[in-house]
Every structure is written in C-alpha cells, then in structure tokens.
C-alpha cells in the first residue's frame, strides 16, 4: 500500500512539473514557424549519422568500462590473497558506492565542461 501511495504522489508531482514547464525560446520559434520535422528519428539517422554513431560508441565505451571495473574490482578486492586483496566485502561495497556517487556527480560536471 505504501509504494502505491508513494507512486500516486510521484505521479501528481510529475504532472505538475510537466504542466508548469515552458518550452525554450528556440523551440518556441521553430514551432511557431512550423519548421518541425515530421520524423525526427529519421532525420537524426539520415543527416546526423556520424555524430550519432560517435556519441553512441563513446557512451558504450564509458559504461562498458564502468561495469567491467565495478565487477572486477569487487571480485579482486574480496578475493583471497595471492589472487586478490582479501578485503572485507562490506568495505569494498562502501568504496564502490562512493565511486558510483562520484561518477554520478561528475557526469553533469563533465557535461558543463563539454559545453564550455
């Protein structure tokens, strides 16, 4: 019951946010000039192929390395010594959690730096 009530509250908050948000001035101009593309995905895949493929592979590399290192570091850190560090599982999980939080914080920071 509690998750259902919580989800109802989230739906109300989401609806409020959706109704109260306004379009950016650039999009409003495009919409007013009726220059919107009928099939945006088709335009993306035909006119912006190189950028789309590059962006896809960059993100693929990022998350592949992230998951490989997360799993490998857990296995290596908790493994018995000569093949591992023999650290307690709980401590390794805390370190990984801090690393993931740092990753989450740095993603928007990297986005801001990329836009600068």
Could you tell me how far CA 107 lies from the centroid of its own chain? 8
For residue 33, give the DSSP letter. Answer: T
Task: Give the model's pLDDT for residue 90.
Answer: 95
Could you tell me how far CA 52 lies from the centroid of its own chain? 16
Burial of 76 (0-12, 13-18, 19+ CB in 10 A): middle
Task: Give the model's pLDDT for residue 64.
Answer: 92
d(CA 4, CA 7): 5
d(CA 30, CA 24): 10
Could you tell me how far CA 41 lies from the centroid of its own chain? 20
Reported pTM: 0.53
Domain definitions of the chain by residue range = 1-36, 43-116
Say yes or no to pLDDT of 11 above 90.
Answer: yes
Question: Which residues, 6 or more positions from 88, have their beta carbon under 8 angstroms from its beta carbon?
Answer: 78
Q: Is residue 29 helix, strand or coil?
A: helix
Q: What is the mean pLDDT of the chain?
A: 90
What share of the chain has pLDDT > 70, as a percent?
100
Residue for token digits 């914080």?
A: 105
Encoding tokens for residue 80? 């018995």
| Half-sphere exposure of residue 55: CA atoms within 13 angstroms, side-chain side | 7
pLDDT tens profile 42-83: 988 899 999 999 999 999 998 898 889 889 999 999 999 888
């Amino acid at each position: 019951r509690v998750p259902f009530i919580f989800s109802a509250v989230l739906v109300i908050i989401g609806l409020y946010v959706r109704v109260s948000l306004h379009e950016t001035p650039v999009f409003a101009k495009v919409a007013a000039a009726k220059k919107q593309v009928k099939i945006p995905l088709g335009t993306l895949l035909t006119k912006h192929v190189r950028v789309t493929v590059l962006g896809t592979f960059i993100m693929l590399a990022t998350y592949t390395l992230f998951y490989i290192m997360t799993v490998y570091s857990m296995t290596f850190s908790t493994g018995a010594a000569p093949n591992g560090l023999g650290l307690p599982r709980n401590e390794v999980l805390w370190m990984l959690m801090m690393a993931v939080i740092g990753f989450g914080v740095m993603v928007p920071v990297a986005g801001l730096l990329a836009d600068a």
